[in-house]
Chain A
Amino acid sequence: MTEPIVSTPLRERATKALGDRFLHEALDIATTKFIALRREAFGNFPEGEHLRDRARAIKEATLQRLDTHLETLVANVERLGGHVHFATTAEEARDVIVDIARRTGARMAVKSKSMATEEIHLNEALQAIGVTPVETDLGEYIIQLAHERPSHIIAPAIHKTKGQVAELFSRELKRPGLPADPEVLTKIAREELREKFLQADLGITGANFAVADTGTVVLVTNEGNGRMATSLPRVHVAVMGVEKIIPSMTDLAVFLAILAKSATGQKLSVYTTLVQGPRRPGELEGPDEFHLVLLDNGRIAQLAGTLRESLYCLRCGACLNVCPVYRQIGGHAYGYTYPGPIGILLTAMLNGPRSVKDLSHASSLCGACADACPVRIDIPRMLVELRREVDDKGIAPWTERVVFKTFARVLRSPRLYRWGARIGRTAQRPFVRGGRIRALPFFFGAWTRTRDLPPVAARTFQERWREL
């Protein structure tokens, strides 16, 4: 269990998000652009479909031999002079990193964007021992200043308009009157953070892949902060879910061919950084110590679980961009570290089925996510499985169970079904006006508050059949 279960019902959080005009505008702009970029990238890439199949197969094959690959990875990282740590829980991960920080006398850590470190809530733990964590990815830097959490897997501040960012920088950086100009704002971030990179004692990053065969940790970035964090401070810590291991460099090339295209529409991200242990004796730069923290936090349990397929996830964010629900409510309304379609599955993985009592229903099961996913994860299938788990474990309200069981009884009996139609016809009479139903009481009001309903037909099709 990583995160406390959010007590506010999802419907409330979602409705609040829907009322946020700025958010709505920001989401629309961002998701529409992301979709177009991705479409264009794959449109110009005929090998794309085949590579997606291959990537999916590599992920599955790796999980089928995860023990072997893990051993190979550890042996190679250690051979290169790195240290590997094994964190079963978020707490263990925090502890090992805090320990490293303490032992190496770190006072300030620069962080490259890492959802894994968000997942384990690392920053608070560092602050508690007097180490200042500085987020350096522009989006993370923005939300750190705003004391918020990321709202998208790859674009953490996508919920903010440029006006909001300008206001934030003006206030928090004591530079009043900044213009809502991304160029200007980016330049300021560059200036503010350059010194931090040069002075930091500790660099903390995530990792997109770890190549077992060569002990290589791979970072896919655009800004350059990943390169800085892995080369300038004297200690580098990479935090990575255990499912990100891949066997070889040849496998790596397959993933690189589709990852950036899925995430941002770029052929490749600006920087792909292959880290192979601490700096070598002759090297001018590089950390003296390299640590890889392998994170379980619910992943290993899914190897034989319903969410196994979600272990293929490359954290590209493509599913968020196409999700009709995410596009309306944004990331924060989901309430946990990972938002969007894959986020619901990951939330269940990290926190158990109770955490997705509502979230498993935050989907119309439209399938756009599965379509967009570079490794073809069948997210809707697993959402339905989670719903099933929520029902089977009695997490769903008992009233709901009664309703659905009754519903099933009616559907098994043509007689009850016909009665149902008759009852409907009678009950609806006071509400039908001009051939439409505009308002219904109780539960049914959920529909009629915003939409009309057709009335039950005077005679159902089956009742008319004889005359046809």
Chain B
Amino acid sequence: MTEAQSAPRAPAASQRVALMITCLADMFYPEVGERIVRLLRGLGVEVTLPAGQTCCGLPLFNSGYHDEAASVARRTASLFRDADAVVVPSGSCAWMVKHEYPGLLRGGADATAAERLAERTWEFSQFLVRRLGRTAFESDVEGPLAYHDSCHLLRGLNEGAAPRTLLANLKGAQVVPLPGSDECCGFGGSFSVRLPEVSTSILERKLANLEASGASCLVACDAGCLMQIRGGLARRNSPLRALHLAEILK
């Protein structure tokens, strides 16, 4: 059961959602953001973008700089103050907001804002399936797809089902199982550069599993995972691809 299931489903039309673009998508994968916006608008959802977004603060939090993380969280929470619903293209950022914001900002002026934001935030696949109740899409990509569970989405937000439902219902797509789909890709934020050899070794295992799956494309719901996996595939000049779920759905 996902935490987000406590909120009621709402029909797509007359829905309004604020997009938390995340620093990685903003800087490196803006096309993912664009596709999300087009997709949601196509479903009749109005998408707003609170201005001046930076980061959810997860990198600061994970490295133990909690005061600094709180200062960034405060700002982000305040930016999304007026949103009825917030959608995030990354499992890790959604986790940060839902799981850690309330604790980080407890006792301060933004405590209530943080609690409310935590309740109203959805990771992208969760938003489609659980909030909008939309599961049927067409595939925009050829070749067999394999889904990689990003750790924060799977274990942090208890969400292994929503992305799989979307892929299973994807018209014109073949989905194959990925061995060790629930195994970490080795990104882990600063871990990827603090212990780069170990991070790469973990990545190699993921890539070997991808090759074994017979898929031509790996699908994930986290920019961090994608940066790591694409980085490895590109370095090998691999014909295999790694895409965000939003880049698959049409």
Q: Footprint of B on A, CB under 8 Å? A: 10-11, 14-15, 18, 324-325, 327-329, 360-368, 370-371, 384-392, 396, 401, 404-405, 407-408, 410-414, 417, 421, 424, 436, 438, 443-444, 446-447, 449-457, 459-462, 464-465, 468
B 207-246 binary contact with A (CB < 8 Å = 1; else 0): 0000000000000000000011011101100000000000
Beyond A18-B201, A411-B57, whether A364 also contacts B184 by CB under 8 A is yes
A408 & B54 in contact (Cβ 8 Å cutoff): no
Q: B186 an interface residue at 8 Å Cβ cutoff?
A: yes
CB distance from A341 to the nearest CB of B (A): 12
Q: How many residues of B contact A (CB 8 A)?
A: 65
Beyond A446-B193, A456-B28, whether A465 also contacts B231 by CB under 8 A is no
CB distance from B104 to the nearest CB of A (A): 12
What 18 new A-B contacts, CB under 8 Å, besides A387-B64, A461-B21?
A18-B198, A18-B201, A329-B198, A361-B194, A368-B182, A392-B64, A405-B65, A411-B72, A443-B193, A446-B192, A450-B196, A450-B232, A451-B228, A451-B234, A457-B28, A460-B30, A464-B33, A464-B34
With a CB–CB cut-off of 8 A, which chain A residues contact B197? 11, 14-15, 18, 450
Task: Provide the bound-state CA to CA distance between A147 and B131, in Å.
Answer: 59
CB distance from B62 to the nearest CB of A (A): 6
With a CB–CB cut-off of 8 A, which chain A residues contact B60? 404, 407-408, 411
B52 & A414 in contact (Cβ 8 Å cutoff): yes
Give the most central of B25, B30, B66, B232: most A CB within 10 Å: B30
With a CB–CB cut-off of 8 A, which chain B residues contact A10? 195
Residue of B nearest to A413 (CB): B54
Residue of B nearest to A387 (CB): B64
Q: B156 an interface residue at 8 Å Cβ cutoff?
A: yes
Q: List 13 A-B contacts (CB under 8 A).
A: A325-B202, A328-B202, A361-B190, A364-B186, A370-B155, A391-B64, A391-B65, A408-B69, A451-B231, A452-B234, A452-B235, A457-B29, A462-B51
CB distance from A345 to the nearest CB of B (A): 15
With a CB–CB cut-off of 8 A, which chain A residues contact B232? 450-451
Sorted from nearest, which 3 A-B pairs have the closest CB atoms? A364-B188, A387-B64, A451-B231
Q: B75 an interface residue at 8 Å Cβ cutoff?
A: yes
With a CB–CB cut-off of 8 A, which chain B residues contact A15? 197-198
A364 & B187 in contact (Cβ 8 Å cutoff): yes
CB distance from A294 to the nearest CB of B (A): 33
Beyond A404-B60, A446-B196, whether A361 also contacts B191 by CB under 8 A is yes
A412 & B72 in contact (Cβ 8 Å cutoff): yes
Beyond A391-B63, A411-B57, A446-B193, whether A366 also contacts B151 by CB under 8 A is yes
CB distance from A453 to the nearest CB of B (A): 6
B235 & A451 in contact (Cβ 8 Å cutoff): yes
CB distance from B214 to the nearest CB of A (A): 20
Contact residues of B: prevailing secondary structure: helix
Residue of A nearest to B229 (CB): A451
Beyond A366-B155, A367-B151, whether A460 also contacts B26 by CB under 8 A is yes
Among A324, A408, A444, A465, contact of B49 (Cβ-Cβ < 8 Å)? A465
Residue of A nearest to B156 (CB): A367
With a CB–CB cut-off of 8 A, which chain A residues contact B199? 364
With a CB–CB cut-off of 8 A, which chain B residues contact A392? 64
Q: B112 an interface residue at 8 Å Cβ cutoff?
A: no
A324 & B186 in contact (Cβ 8 Å cutoff): yes
Among A11, A324, A457, contact of B202 (Cβ-Cβ < 8 Å)? A324
With a CB–CB cut-off of 8 A, which chain B residues contact A361? 190-191, 194-195
Task: Provide the bound-state CA to CA distance between A325 and B203, in Å.
Answer: 11
Q: B53 an interface residue at 8 Å Cβ cutoff?
A: yes
Task: Provide the bound-state CA to CA distance between A181 and B188, in Å.
Answer: 40
B191 & A365 in contact (Cβ 8 Å cutoff): yes
B198 & A462 in contact (Cβ 8 Å cutoff): no
Q: B59 an interface residue at 8 Å Cβ cutoff?
A: yes
Task: Provide the bound-state CA to CA distance between A468 and B48, in Å.
Answer: 11
CB distance from A194 to the nearest CB of B (A): 42
Within B36-53, which residues are at the interface with A (CB < 8 Å)?
Answer: 37-38, 49, 51-53
Beyond A364-B191, A451-B203, A461-B33, whether A408 also contacts B196 by CB under 8 A is no
B34 & A468 in contact (Cβ 8 Å cutoff): yes
Beyond A324-B202, A411-B55, A417-B54, whether A462 also contacts B49 by CB under 8 A is yes
With a CB–CB cut-off of 8 A, which chain B residues contact A404? 60, 63, 65, 68
A324 & B183 in contact (Cβ 8 Å cutoff): yes
With a CB–CB cut-off of 8 A, which chain B residues contact A436? 234
With a CB–CB cut-off of 8 A, which chain A residues contact B165? none
Residue of B nearest to A15 (CB): B197
Within B153-208, which residues are at the interface with A (CB < 8 Å)?
Answer: 155-156, 182-184, 186-203, 205
Beyond A367-B151, A424-B27, whether A412 also contacts B190 by CB under 8 A is no
Give the most central of A364, A370, A444: most B CB within 10 Å: A364
Task: Provide the bound-state CA to CA distance between A444 and B190, in Å.
Answer: 11
With a CB–CB cut-off of 8 A, which chain B residues contact A468? 34, 37-38
Task: Provide the bound-state CA to CA distance between A364 and B58, in Å.
Answer: 13
Q: B61 an interface residue at 8 Å Cβ cutoff?
A: yes
A408 & B30 in contact (Cβ 8 Å cutoff): no
CB distance from A212 to the nearest CB of B (A): 35
Within B115-156, which residues are at the interface with A (CB < 8 Å)?
Answer: 151-152, 155-156
With a CB–CB cut-off of 8 A, which chain B residues contact A328? 198, 201-202, 205
B63 & A462 in contact (Cβ 8 Å cutoff): no
Residue of B nearest to A333 (CB): B198
Within B1-30, which residues are at the interface with A (CB < 8 Å)?
Answer: 21, 23, 25-30
With a CB–CB cut-off of 8 A, which chain B residues contact A385? 64
Give the most central of A386, A392, A453, A465: most B CB within 10 Å: A465
Among B28, B198, B201, contact of A454 (Cβ-Cβ < 8 Å)? B28
Task: Provide the bound-state CA to CA distance between A391 and B60, in Å.
Answer: 11
With a CB–CB cut-off of 8 A, which chain B residues contact A362? 195, 198
